[in-house]
Amino acid sequence: MAEPIQSEHFASMNVLANFLDETFNGDKKGHDREISFVLLISRFGQIDNGRVNYISNGEREDIICMLKEITARFEGRYLDQKGTA
């Protein structure tokens, strides 16, 4: 399995991830944090046959659920609690 971040993006993505985590969660660590995030980057025009790099502060299973929900929203398949898209 390929690494989640290509070497040329590793330092920048880690700086951004640390900034996001501190911005949303302050000094909280581990399970005390309240906000989870995932950052995805890719080169323009190379998404289908290129590479997506990602970094997150969440558990893998939670990130998969987040991505499934946002995909459903983008595709118009997500229903809110009131039963509307």
Q: pLDDT, tens digit, for every residue of 10-34?
A: 999 999 999 999 999 999 999 999 9
Structural domain contains residue 28: yes
Give 42-82 pLDDT, tens digit per residue. Answer: 999 887 777 899 999 999 999 999 999 999 999 988 766 66
> Which residues make beta-bridge pairs with 54?
40
pLDDT score at 78: 73
Structural domain contains residue 82: no
Q: Which tokens in the block code for residue 2?
A: 């390929």
Structural domain contains residue 49: yes
Structural domain contains residue 21: yes
Structural domain contains residue 79: no
- Structural Rg of the chain based on CA atoms: 15
| Cα(41)–Cα(15) distance, integer angstroms | 14
What is the domain range of residue 22?
7-74
**Total structural domains in the chain?**
1
Q: Which tokens in the block code for residue 67?
A: 């991505």
Structural domain contains residue 65: yes
DSSP state of 55: E
Please classify residue 47 by burial: count the beta carbons closer than 10 Å to its beta carbon, then call 0-12 exposed, 13-18 middle and 19+ buried.
exposed
